[in-house]
Amino acid sequence: MTFSELLTGELLHPVGGYMAPQATAASDVVTDALSAGADTVFVACVTAIYDGHDMALTAYQRGCRHFVAERLLPLPSDAALLLTPDTREVLGELASRVQGYPARSLTVVGITGTHGKTATALLAAALLTGSGRKVALLTTDGTDIGDSFSPAGEIAPDAADLARFFRRAVAAGAEIAIVELSAYMLAHGATKGTPFTVVLCTDLAPRHIGKGEHADIAAYRAAKARLLEADAPVAILPVGLADFTPRGRVLRYGVGEIDADFRVAEQGTHTVGSVEATSAVFYDGDAAYPIETPLFGVPYLHNLTAALALATILGEQPARLAGLTPAVRAAGRLDCICPAGGRRVCFDAAYEAEDLVTVLTTLRGVTKGKLSVLLGSVGGRAYARRAPLGAAALAGADFVYFTEDDRNGESARQIALDMVGENADSARYLVMTDRAAAIAAAVLDLRRGDTLLILGKPREETQLVHGKKQFFSDRRAVLDAIRDF
């Protein structure tokens, strides 16, 4: 497709005094000036972090000559400049067009909500993959396409990123694309140009409200409605959520909810060897299917119920899905390994106090001995999260190891002290800035019946130090320490 073919439409208005879009090949639409080049269109979008209009000259210096913006840009006359009232409104169409509308070749699922989006997406992908379906997945962790996992960047994906994700998914032979969508992504138009087949909501709670986020719960709800009240033929919602009026067919799910179209009824937990499992029944209407799952706790069974409902809607037989549940877990979401000698080590990506409270409450219910947690906090930002996160850890666990986690250029010890805050009970925590040493100490301290929760980035094996990513694997550190049991 040429630039002149791509840059057409009633919302695009060429500016006089600049060159016309050229009849040369366009390969991509970008919003990051550092990704711009001679074969790209740069679309200047305003985000919560930066104003793309201020980066236009950088894109020009990198060879880009085709620009879409909301206001005039200080560009030489050998550039093509088109104005539009809202660049986010046209970004999705332009990005989809230049990629050849790849989403049209996929069954696209959009998952949103306040809690459990990533876990539900991972569980659904695992069920569908286990059933032989080819699935591409985009979550806050990153992208899973085929056997390749790419960690997420620091900036939330936009409509152009989604179009590139769909193109890669099609090229890899995927038939289903599952996309996790935050309220931020929805509010900033990330779904423009994406045809969803099924949309799913995990829940709706007052979160991410305040300065730099959503003005109030109404704005937060409106962002979610951009997905849930759009044109998808099917919406899967939890029982009791009446905040949205989808246009398509609505199916309900829940844990122990009698009136749900899909539900899971927990029957109890038991031990298989050294692994604790949950026995339950999955109901598709009146049809019942016994299941076993390594997941435990209502929040995680809620995610599994949503994933089972989604896989069923996409054509999988519930009986087959029930046979897959013993091996299905959400990597990095209360992901437990190495329960040697009655000990349990779990990994989770909780990074806010509210998430940590949920995880620790769930683990407390299955821990017979001591419950410990090991965590740090990112350097250079998220200062306000540190004290609440530390307070949640100290309130919910018996012992806390404070260590480094993507400290970047900050002092790991100072970050840890920020998390400790004014807590005076020094007998209940330890500051160990060396993460490997902290994990080793925590693992070796485990006794029968104890649980250790390690917080961080379970699916990304790096630590950010002075602007550079260095290899570090929490799992490998645990396995190294276990050798000394």
- Rounded Cα–Cα distance for residues 485 and 340 (Å): 9
Give the phi and the psi of residue 479 in degrees, each rounded to 5.
-65, -40
- Rounded Cα–Cα distance for residues 463 and 425 (Å): 29
Measure Cα distances from 177 to 59, 223, 234 in Å.
Answer: 31, 21, 15
Measure Cα distances from 217 to 205, 211, 214, 242 in Å.
Answer: 8, 13, 7, 15
N residues, the chain = 485
- Rounded Cα–Cα distance for residues 205 and 214 (Å): 13
pLDDT for 211: 62
- Rounded Cα–Cα distance for residues 66 and 409 (Å): 37
Among 388, 386, 374, CA closest to 444:
374
pLDDT for 274: 55
Q: Which helix (H) or strand (E) holds 69?
A: strand 66-69
pLDDT for 210: 64
- Rounded Cα–Cα distance for residues 324 and 293 (Å): 9
pLDDT for 273: 57
Among 362, 428, 365, 366, CA closest to 395:
428
User: What CATH number has the domain spanning 335-482?
Assistant: 3.90.190.20
Which residue type occupies 35? S
Identical fold, 102-327 and 335-482: no
Among 220, 227, 174, CA closest to 200:
227
Q: Which two tokens stand for residue 393?
A: 């850890």
Measure Cα distances from 140 to 81, 121, 225, 477 in Å.
Answer: 33, 10, 20, 24
pLDDT for 425: 78
Q: Which helix (H) or strand (E) holds 218?
A: helix 217-228
Q: Out of 3.30.1050.10, 3.30.1370.60, 3.40.1190.10, 3.30.2350.10, select the CATH number for domain 102-327.
A: 3.40.1190.10
pLDDT for 462: 84
- Rounded Cα–Cα distance for residues 91 and 114 (Å): 26
- Rounded Cα–Cα distance for residues 141 and 124 (Å): 15
Q: Cα(first)–Cα(last) distance of the chain, in Å? A: 61
Domain residue ranges of the chain, discontinuous segments joined by +: 3-90, 102-327, 335-482
Please compute, for residue 249, the number of CA atoms within 13 A of its CA located in the half-sphere on the CB side: 7
Among 241, 231, 21, CA closest to 115:
241
pLDDT averages per 10-residue partition of the chain, 485 residues: 94 95 96 96 90 96 97 96 96 96 97 95 97 96 88 86 97 97 92 95 82 78 94 96 93 93 89 73 96 89 97 97 93 76 86 90 90 93 88 95 91 91 84 94 93 89 85 90 74
Give me the helix-helix angle, 435-444 and 474-482, nearest 10°.
40
Among 36, 31, 27, CA closest to 5:
27
The fold for domain 3-90 equals 3.40.1390
> Can you say how many angstroms the Cα of residue 461 is from the centroid of all Cα atoms in its chain?
17
Q: Are 85 and 71 in contact (CB under 8 A)?
A: no
pLDDT for 270: 72
